[in-house]
Amino acid sequence: MYFATEGVILKKRNFGEADRLLTIFTRDHGKITAIAKGARRPRSKKAGHIELGNWCKLFVARGKNIDLVTEAETKRAFGIANFTEERANRIYHLLEIVENLTASHQKNLEVFILLVQFLKRIEKDEQFSLLSCVFKIKLLSSLGFFTSHYLKNPKVKYILATFEKDNFETIKGKIKLTQNSYSNILLFLDRLIEGLTQSKLTTSRFLNGI
């Protein structure tokens, strides 16, 4: 059985002598793991399309134990046109969070759209402290891990409810916080994520100015 979809490459590892083992968040099937056969060979047609953070069109064969990526075509390679190490680290941070928080084979179109939208915003050099807060709260809310409804502190509830419910452009106009306030919110969110996943966010230490 074969299926066509699109997805963002969340993680890749070497597999066997010449293959790549990929974790992909797809539009139609949620998070999947699949092998790209021969992707590490110099003449591989798939190699350049399955880099971390790439948004790809994919053709996948269902396997008995693991799926197989038979074709891949890049729709957008986030962070490549205006590459900096800082921007790449920000992209990898979002990828790690989605990879850690989502379960395999559970379709969630809202999460897929959220990830693509915020990867685009990283390319625009949006204020990353705000972007990171909003992305994490919207992702946690979409997955059922967070709601601002029961928060007691009125000021905190207003801020986090705005992050949870409003679109990013509206949030930028409504919320003005100090860097220290952003840092406190992000510390809370990262601890929440690490508590849910029982694993450390390894990309956090590479982020600057947040």
Within this chain, do residues 42 and 97 fall inside the same structural domain, yes or no?
Answer: no
Mean of pLDDT values over 140-146: 97
CATH of the domain at 189: 1.20.1440
Same-domain check for residues 90 and 183? yes
Task: Identify whether residues 185 and 109 lie together within a single domain.
Answer: yes
For residues 128 and 40, state if they share a domain. Answer: no
Q: What is the pLDDT of residues 24-36, one digit of tens each?
A: 999 999 999 999 9
Residues 6+ positions from 32 with CB-CB distance below 8 Å: 7, 23, 24, 26, 60, 67, 104, 105
pLDDT of residue 153: 93
Q: What is the DSSP letter of 201?
A: -
Residues 125, 55 share a domain: no
Shared-domain flag, residues 200 and 127: yes
Per-residue confidence at 209, pLDDT binned at 50, 70, 90?
A: low
Q: Point out which residues pair with 76 in neighbouring strands.
A: 55
Instruction: With cut-offs at 50, 70 and 90, classify the pLDDT of residue 206.
Output: confident
- Which residue, of 77, 105, 123, is where some domain finishes? 77
Integer Cα distance of 208 and 210 in angstroms: 6
Q: What confidence tens digit (pLDDT) does each residue in 153-201 have?
A: 999 999 999 999 999 999 999 999 999 999 999 999 999 999 999 999 9
- Provide the number of structural domains found in the chain: 2
- What is the reported pLDDT for 210? 61
Name the nearest CA neighbour of 123 among 186, 81, 73, 89.
Answer: 81
- Please list, in sequence order, all residues whose beta carbon lies within 8 angstroms of the beta carbon of residue 163, skipping any fewer than 6 positions away: 133, 134, 137, 138, 148, 171, 175
Is the same domain home to 197 and 146?
yes
Q: What pTM does this model have?
A: 0.94
Q: Which of 32, 60, 77 is a domain's end point? A: 77
Q: What is the mean pLDDT of the chain?
A: 94
Residue 47 sits in a domain whose CATH number is: 2.40.50.140
| Final residue belonging to a domain, choices 47, 77, 107 | 77
Average pLDDT of 85-96? Answer: 95
For residues 73 and 43, state if they share a domain: yes
Same domain, 164 and 194: yes
The range of the structural domain enclosing residue 179 comes to 85-206
**To 10 degrees, what angle do helices 85-101 and 179-197 make?**
40
| Whether residue 119 sits in one domain with residue 27 | no
Same structural domain for residues 7 and 108?
no
Q: Are residues 41 and 96 in the same domain?
A: no
